[in-house]
Amino acid sequence: MPSDLATCLPLLIAAAAALGLAVVMSPARISRTALLARGGTGLAGMVAIAGAPSLDLLVLALLVLAVLHASLPGKRDFSSRLQMPVVAVVLIVLALVFARVQGPELLQRLAAVGIAAGLAACVGLLPYIHVLEPEDMVAVSPTVWIGFVGPVAATAILVRARGLLSLDAGTDLGAMLVGLGLVNMLWGTLAAWRAESSTRAWHYSFMADWGLALCGFGLTVADGQAAALLILVSIVFGRLPLYLASRQALRENQSADRPINLMVAAVLAGSAPFAGFAARVLLLRGATQMSWPLALVLAAGMLLWLPVSLRLGRTLGQPRGRQALGVGIVIAANAVVGLYPLPLLTLASR
Amino acid sequence: MIAAVAAFLGWLGVSIIVLADGRRGLAVGLAVATTGLAAIAWQEGDGVAALIVMGGGAAAAVLRYRAGPGGWVVMPPGSTPRLILCVAGGLVALWFAASVTIGPDGATRFAVLSVVGLSGARIVSSREPSSVVTAVATLALAAAVATRLGAGSPGLVPYVAAALIAAGALLLPVRVADAF
């Protein structure tokens, strides 16, 4: 098994589980077969991205997924939905050219800029935020990039980019990722807190989590990488299914303050004993090894998750039946990963 | 000399795609860009890769010729910014390929940079699905040819994948936005 595929394996498993849960939780008015077909296509694309033997093929797989996703019927037209993923493809191809041609050292640094910018454009992070149409179905919305395909694509891109860039350019890439991460973390939490639409608040909360993940990727220590992986797993099999579970309550404008809502808020905030907590501890430990002021900024930023998560937890309403079961499974799985993260990390580092 | 002509064809083809809105103009642009990219692969000694690029691009061009907005519609009124983009994009790519970077494969660098940059600009700036899909086909073929710049041999897989994307994208039924 290629090591790059192994790195993405926990994310692929989490994505497959999230897809299964989404199919089970989906309300009757949504065709489960269509959801399974679309999600299955996305999952196949993610396997192709993770298993691609080179960054060139990865980019082509990304282009295929982008075109297929943009061609799904939705409120926004084909061209506008294709824009940001294509920007990502163009930036990464240009980065590959810069990294491979002979010339001044500056070209390697430009390649690092291209990789960081392409990654942000692919996922939909600042400064390339994808336009969200709140009325769109999740399968055709930018949530697919930020919560389902993005984690695998970003991990695979960064794993491959390491072998492509020089040592100095790799260090620059790490610094850029930390910078992008901090900006997205602050922007995401503040925007999620202040946004009028709860659907937009959910979308911004994905950005905030991604900020932490980028900081983890940017830290060139094992703890940082492990933290990034755990955060991405908690996005794919935590935030994403909880967002799906809240869609009906969001449409009906319901909110509730029951114990289940507080539990969900705890999962979203990364409280102990859930997966987000283990990730935050690893991230702070990694940041302390690199630079303690960075750890201080991260710790202060993490406090911003609390009001956001309480707000988002309420938007879940009162889940019943299949949705309550799904939410219970997500909470339990996040608790298990938070308490025993080692098997997941071992799987990724094989 | 052949490499320089091939690189020029690549830039010319993608420029026609940027400047045209009709299916005939887009198809000709795609065919010209494909010829340039295939000639670059051929000139570097990979005949099979060149044939694959040519096959995928030609199939895409034929499909574009058969469907899309009618006519040529090359440089419709208001297309001066697009013309400036093509010229400026070509000059920047030429400066980068010939002056900033060193070593062989200058023609490949110019073709890849101009085709990737201009097709990306076309996709980002256009709302018409037929021109966007045509630019996607060109972008895929250029991304495959860009693998030649790497140290090792890329093999045929990127070319086959790009040819399938180029032809497949044109076959995809693209829907417009749902009405509110």
Residue A30, pLDDT score: 67
Check CB contact under 8 Å for B101 and A100: no
In angstroms, the separation between the Cα of residue B171 and the nearest Cα of chain A is 11
- Encoded amino acid at B17, one letter: I
What is the mean predicted confidence (pLDDT) over B29-44? 93
Residues of A in contact with B169 (CB under 8 A): 67
Residues of A in contact with B103 (CB under 8 A): 101-102
In angstroms, the separation between the Cα of residue B100 and the nearest Cα of chain A is 7
Residue B176, pLDDT score: 54
pLDDT tops 50 at residue A106 = yes
Q: How far apart are CA B64 and CA B49, in angstroms?
A: 22
Q: What is the pLDDT of residues A308-323, one digit of tens each?
A: 999 999 999 888 888 8
Q: How far apart are CA A277 and CA A273, in angstroms?
A: 6
CA angle A281, A287, A289 (to 5 degrees): 105
Residue B103, pLDDT score: 83
What is the mean predicted confidence (pLDDT) over A176-203? 94
Choice between B25 and B155, residue whose per-residue pLDDT is larger:
B25
Residues in chain A: 350
Check CB contact under 8 Å for B157 and A83: no
DSSP letter assigned to residue A130? P
List, in sequence order, every residue forming a beta bridge with A116; answer none if it has no partner: none
Q: How far apart are CA A63 and CA A90, in angstroms?
A: 10
pTM value surpassing 0.90:
yes
CA atoms within 13 A on the CB side of A273: 8
Residue B180, pLDDT score: 38
What is the mean predicted confidence (pLDDT) over A110-125? 96
Q: How far apart are CA B51 and CA B65, in angstroms?
A: 20
Run of H or E including A5? helix A3-25
Residues of B in contact with A165 (CB under 8 A): none
Nearest to B178 among A75, A80, A96 (CB): A75
List, in sequence order, every residue forming a beta bridge with B102; answer none if it has no partner: A102
Note the helical H segments in A71-149. Answer: 78-100, 106-123, 143-144
Q: What is the pLDDT of residues A30-76, one digit of tens each?
A: 678 888 999 999 999 999 999 998 899 999 999 999 999 999 888 88
Whether B120 and chain A come into contact, CB under 8 Å, resolves to: yes
Check CB contact under 8 Å for A77 and B165: no
Run of H or E including A219? none
What is the mean predicted confidence (pLDDT) over B121-132? 93
Q: How far apart are CA A219 and CA A231, in angstroms?
A: 14
Q: What's the mean per-residue pLDDT of chain A?
A: 91
DSSP letter assigned to residue A236? I
Whether B4 and chain A come into contact, CB under 8 Å, resolves to: no
Residue A211, pLDDT score: 96
Q: How high is the ipTM of this complex?
A: 0.94
Residues of A in contact with B157 (CB under 8 A): 53, 57
Nearest to B175 among A60, A71, A90 (CB): A71
Residue B153, pLDDT score: 73
Contact (Cβ atoms closer than 8 angstroms) between residue B37 and residue B10: yes
Residue A6, pLDDT score: 83
Whether A63 and chain B come into contact, CB under 8 Å, resolves to: yes
Check CB contact under 8 Å for B120 and A78: no
A301 closest CA partner among A278, A283, A313, A274: A283
Whether B6 and chain A come into contact, CB under 8 Å, resolves to: no
Q: How far apart are CA A63 and CA A49, in angstroms?
A: 10
What tokens appear for A151 in the block? 């984690």
Size of interface A-B (CB pairs under 8 A): 120
Residue A1, pLDDT score: 40
Residue A56, pLDDT score: 92
Contact (Cβ atoms closer than 8 angstroms) between residue A104 and residue A166: no
What tokens appear for A202 in the block? 């959910």
CA atoms within 13 A on the CB side of A201: 23
Check CB contact under 8 Å for A83 and B123: yes
Check CB contact under 8 Å for B149 and A94: no
Q: How far apart are CA B103 and CA A103, in angstroms?
A: 8
* Euclidean distance between the first and the last CA atom of chain B, given in angstroms as a whole number: 55
Residue A28, pLDDT score: 67
Instruction: Please state the domain extents for chain A.
Output: 3-348
Q: What percent of chain A has pLDDT over 90?
A: 73
Q: What is the pLDDT of residues A240-294, one digit of tens each?
A: 999 999 988 888 888 888 899 999 999 999 998 999 999 999 999 999 998 899 9
Check CB contact under 8 Å for B158 and A97: no
In angstroms, the separation between the Cα of residue B140 and the nearest Cα of chain A is 7
Nearest to B109 among A61, A83, A97 (CB): A97
Q: What is the pLDDT of residues B63-85, one digit of tens each?
A: 999 988 888 898 999 999 999 99
DSSP letter assigned to residue B178? P
Check CB contact under 8 Å for B144 and A56: yes
In angstroms, the separation between the Cα of residue A101 and the nearest Cα of chain B is 7
B60 closest CA partner among B173, B172, B170: B170
Q: How far apart are CA A158 and CA A173, in angstroms?
A: 9
Q: How far apart are CA A186 and CA A190, in angstroms?
A: 6
DSSP letter assigned to residue B175? P
DSSP string, B28-82: HHHHHHHHHHHHHHHHTT-HHHHHHHHHHHHHHHHHHHHSSSSS--BS-TT-HHH
CB atoms within 10 A of CB A260: 18
Residue A348, pLDDT score: 86
Q: What is the pLDDT of residues B48-66, one digit of tens each?
A: 999 999 999 999 999 999 9
Whether A73 and chain B come into contact, CB under 8 Å, resolves to: yes
Mutation test of the interface with chain A: which of B149, B159, B160, choosing the one with the most A Cβ atoms within 10 A? Answer: B149
